[in-house]
Amino acid sequence: MRTGITIDVRLGDCEGLLAVLTNRNSTQKHVWRARMVLLTAAGHGTAAIIRLAGVAKTAAWRWQARFMQADVGGLLRDKTRLSRIAPLPLPLAIAEQLVALTLGPPPAVTTHWATRATAAQVGISVSSVQRISRAHGLQPHRLQQFELSNDPHFATELRDIVGPYVDPPAHAVVLLVNEKSQIQALDGTQSGLPLERCSTMTHN
Q: Which structural domain range is residue 105 located in?
A: 92-138
Supply the mean pLDDT for the chain. Answer: 75
Flag whether pLDDT at 183 surpasses 60.
Answer: no
With respect to residue 53, please indicate whether it lies within any of the assigned structural domains. Answer: yes
Which region, left, alpha or beta, applies to residue 197 given φ > 0 means left and ψ of -120 to 50 means alpha?
alpha
Give the model's confidence band at 106: pLDDT under 50 very low, under 70 low, under 90 confident, else very high: confident
Average pLDDT over residues 72-86: 65
pLDDT, greater one: 163 or 26: 163
Flag whether pLDDT at 159 surpasses 50.
Answer: yes
How many other C-beta atoms are found inside a 10 Å radius of the C-beta of residue 60? 22
pLDDT, greater one: 28 or 119: 119
| 16 shares a domain with 68 | yes
Q: What pLDDT does residue 173 have?
A: 82
| 59 shares a domain with 15 | yes
Q: What pLDDT does residue 1 have?
A: 38
Which residues contact residue 76 at a Cβ distance below 8 angstroms, ignoring those fewer than 6 apart? Answer: 20, 30, 33
Give the model's confidence band at 181: pLDDT under 50 very low, under 70 low, under 90 confident, else very high: low
With respect to residue 144, please indicate whether it lies within any of the assigned structural domains. Answer: no
Which residues contact residue 157 at a Cβ distance below 8 angstroms, ignoring those fewer than 6 apart? Answer: 151
With respect to residue 101, please indicate whether it lies within any of the assigned structural domains. Answer: yes
What's the predicted TM-score (pTM) here? 0.36
With respect to residue 204, please indicate whether it lies within any of the assigned structural domains. Answer: no
Q: What pLDDT does residue 16 have?
A: 76
